[in-house]
Amino acid sequence: MGNQHCGEWHHHDGSYEGSDVSDEPQEPRSTPDELGAFFIDFYTFLTTLHYDKSHLKIPPPTGWPELTPESCAYFKSDHTMEVIRHLPYFDSTCIEYVHYKSKILDHTAFTQKDFEKHRNYHQGWEFWSSEGELMDPSDVVCMAVGHENFSRELWLNMKDCEIFEDFHAGDMLNAVPVEVFFENTKEQYKTLKLIPGRRRITIEAEKVPERDGRITEKEVTGQTEEWGTDLDIQYVRQIYRYHEWTGFFDLETASEAIDKWLEPLGGGLGGGPRGLA
């Protein structure tokens, strides 16, 4: 849906000075049901925006029966498997993005070979908890996969209930508690610092300021720069807010307004007068 806007990020140095590192196994911070509830709340929020509610799959009380250690190629620890069985998912046919070029995985649709490939995918990677502890890979699972450079991949640390945010082909951000990550992401959506679109890549607009006053169609269509200017992003925000963003948001009519504006620019057709692919 346009150019990526992102800030500067710093790589976690893996330092754990002053942390209380113990060889004693610690109980996970949340039960599988508690962790699942955080995901259900966040995913339900997404269905009020750009995700189709019919794609959201809520696990039965006893967890997804098809997800067994054997069917999952024994790719993770017993506790991790129990959490995976109690998480909600968006159906694998869902094409929406949760972040910049980032799609949520549907583990219930994985075959045994998919799990084996998933296990091998991040062999040799290091994940550090917020307490500076090097994580056992069997306690970390990819929840959302990125496509292309600087897309966002999301990894879940099952033991400490933290999210690792990874820039594909870039740096990994510090681990953040699941509930904090979800609340922060909700806030980014509500303030349109993250801007989703129907069948369009989610825009990161953290650094795009708010615009005072109404933007006219003539003003925005009169631009000659490559699509993705601050004014373009601000105009998308204006359209979304006009259609009651995060209230009773009307995705259909908002998307029609966006499409009407972008189609003459070549949006979705491989290029146009302002380089919009």
DSSP output for 81-120: HHHHHT--EE-TT----SBTTEEE--GGG--HHHHHHHHH
* % of the chain with per-residue pLDDT over 70: 84
How many distinct helices (H) and strands (E) make up the chain?
7, 9
Of 50-59, 143-152, 157-166, 254-263, the poorest mean pLDDT is in 143-152
Q: In the 3-class helix/strand/coil scheme, how is 145-210 assigned residue by residue?
A: EECCCCCEEEEEECCCCEEEEEECCCCECCCEEHHHHHHHHHHHHHCCCEEEECCEEEEEECCCCC
Q: Where are the domains of the chain?
A: 32-188, 208-265
Summarised one tens digit per residue, pLDDT across range 102-124 is: 999 999 999 999 988 887 777 77
**What are the tokens at 271?**
């290029």
Which pTM does this prediction carry? 0.82
**Region 151-180 average pLDDT:** 84
Name residue, tokens 């094409």. 95
pLDDT at 173: 74
Average pLDDT, the chain: 83
Residue 67: per-residue pLDDT? 94
Tell me the mean pLDDT in the region 156-164. Answer: 91
Q: What is the mean pLDDT of residues 153-175?
A: 82
CATH (residue range 32-188): 3.40.1580
- The tens digit of pLDDT for each residue in 177-205 reads 999 999 999 999 999 999 998 888 899 99
